[in-house]
């Protein structure tokens, strides 16, 4: 059995993610495909995640791909969270997420919708957004008009208010490809139809998604894949068993890669990077204790969860945290390193801060010292 070390796997992941060297001939969609989606709950973080992997790209490059050419779409992805995905891959994602057993909040009987009501709401959402960009209130009016007053009953507690009953079907509707996010209207989110040609794909999307996940983040276990996707562990284990995979030993334990995909770069992982909140490399990267060695786990993880802090990455491992604050045309970057930086590493950090300024279209200023803000700040 082939044995792979953490250094080998780290170097391989960095290379495939465009973090060892930014992709020179790539596109935003190609970058996002290599990442298996970019977390976009905070869209500015998604813009930064994608642009820093693509040579010469800025946040405007990513915005054009998302709202102009629509080669990217914003929708619900792994774990039910908002992600940016390649439009061309949407059929695969819809197929995979439709196969996924639903694991969501269990609503009381007086709140729950029946299976038939859920189907009605999903169909109503798909019909309402065709050729239109609707706010949540406008979408709600259309859904209630198409289904009945029961859909508008304010029965779901949410953020110190009450949501209408129909909103419990939003995740299902997203997984079915009934809608994607549209451009923001003022400060309001909008919902619209997927780009033409991105209809539901054939069955078997979950197997293809597993293959792409392992190409990006393997070697991995069924439990790790289940955590990344937000799926039941037994379902993930069955998916692994049915796929053409190869068992290897990684970091002293069994793990799996796509059959034959055991190549690793000749050089060890090198380089300094500033990764934003919920960057894909952080969220999918495991084992956590190797990605976040020593003091990094206490400083940059929140209850064991990755991504709540923007991190300083040195040679493929978390070595600190950082924070940015925009002020007019300037962006103030504070970096808290958990280990001394050599002169060479300091120069690389300066280059990264300069690149950050290019992406954000701002003049950067670097301060080395404690980051006093909390998660998500």
Comparing CA positions, the residue from 269, 41, 21, 39 lying closest to residue 50 is 39
Q: Which residue intervals of the chain are DSSP H helices?
A: 6-17, 28-35, 43-51, 59-63, 90-99, 115-128, 136-147, 170-175, 205-217, 222-229, 233-242, 280-284, 288-291, 295-300, 343-360
Closest by alpha carbon to 22, among 61, 55, 59? Answer: 55
Give this prediction's pTM: 0.93
CB atoms within 10 A of CB 131: 6
Q: Which domain holds residue 335?
A: 272-368
Q: Is residue 235 part of a domain?
A: yes
Total domain count for the chain? 2
Does residue 318 sit in the same domain as residue 278?
yes
What tens-digit pLDDT sequence spans the chain (377 residues)? 899 999 999 999 999 999 999 999 899 999 999 999 999 999 999 999 999 999 999 999 999 999 999 999 999 999 989 999 999 999 999 999 988 886 656 788 888 899 899 999 999 999 999 999 999 999 999 999 999 999 999 999 888 899 999 999 998 999 889 999 999 999 999 999 998 876 666 668 999 999 999 999 999 999 999 999 999 999 999 999 999 999 999 989 999 999 999 999 999 999 999 999 999 999 999 999 999 999 999 999 998 889 899 999 999 999 999 999 999 999 999 999 999 999 999 999 999 999 999 999 999 999 999 999 888 76
Supply the pLDDT for residue 107: 82
Specify if 316 maps to a domain.
Answer: yes
On whether both 315 and 353 belong to a single domain, the answer is: yes
Residues 210, 288 within the same domain: no
User: Rounded CA gap, 324 and 143, in Å?
Assistant: 40
């Amino acid at each position: 059995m082939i044995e792979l070390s953490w250094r080998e796997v780290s170097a391989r992941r960095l290379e495939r993610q465009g973090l060892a060297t930014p992709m020179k001939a790539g596109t935003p969609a190609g970058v996002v495909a290599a990442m298996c989606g970019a977390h976009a709950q905070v869209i500015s973080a998604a813009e930064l995640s994608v642009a820093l992997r693509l040579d010469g790209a800025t946040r405007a490059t990513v915005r054009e791909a998302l709202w102009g050419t629509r080669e990217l779409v914003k929708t619900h992805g792994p774990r039910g969270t908002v992600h940016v995905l390649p439009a061309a891959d949407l059929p695969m994602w819809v197929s995979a997420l439709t196969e996924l057993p639903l694991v969501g909040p269990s609503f009381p009987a007086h709140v729950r919708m029946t299976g038939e009501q859920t189907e009605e709401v999903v169909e109503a959402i798909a019909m309402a957004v065709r050729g239109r960009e609707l706010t949540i209130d406008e979408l709600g009016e259309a859904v209630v008009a198409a289904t009945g007053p029961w859909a508008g009953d304010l029965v779901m507690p949410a953020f110190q208010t009450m949501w209408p009953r129909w909103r419990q079907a939003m995740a299902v509707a997203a997984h079915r490809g009934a809608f994607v996010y549209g451009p923001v209207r003022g400060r309001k989110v909008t919902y619209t139809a997927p780009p033409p040609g991105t209809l539901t794909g054939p069955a078997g999307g979950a197997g293809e998604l597993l293959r792409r996940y392992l190409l990006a983040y393997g070697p991995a276990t069924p439990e790790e894949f289940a955590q990344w996707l937000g799926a039941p562990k037994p379902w993930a284990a069955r998916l692994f068993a049915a796929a053409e995979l190869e068992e290897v030993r990684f970091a002293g334990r069994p793990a799996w890669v796509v059959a034959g995909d055991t190549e690793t770069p000749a050089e060890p992982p090198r380089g300094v990077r500033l990764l934003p909140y919920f960057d894909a490399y952080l969220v999918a990267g495991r084992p956590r204790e190797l990605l976040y060695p020593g003091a990094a786990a206490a400083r940059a993880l929140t209850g064991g969860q990755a991504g709540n802090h923007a991190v300083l990455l040195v040679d493929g491992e978390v070595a600190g945290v950082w924070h940015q604050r925009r002020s007019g045309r300037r962006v103030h970057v504070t970096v808290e390193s958990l280990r001394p930086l050599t002169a060479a590493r300091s120069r690389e950090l300066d280059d990264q801060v300069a690149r950050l300024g290019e992406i954000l279209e701002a003049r950067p200023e670097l301060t080395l010292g404690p980051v006093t803000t909390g998660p998500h700040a």
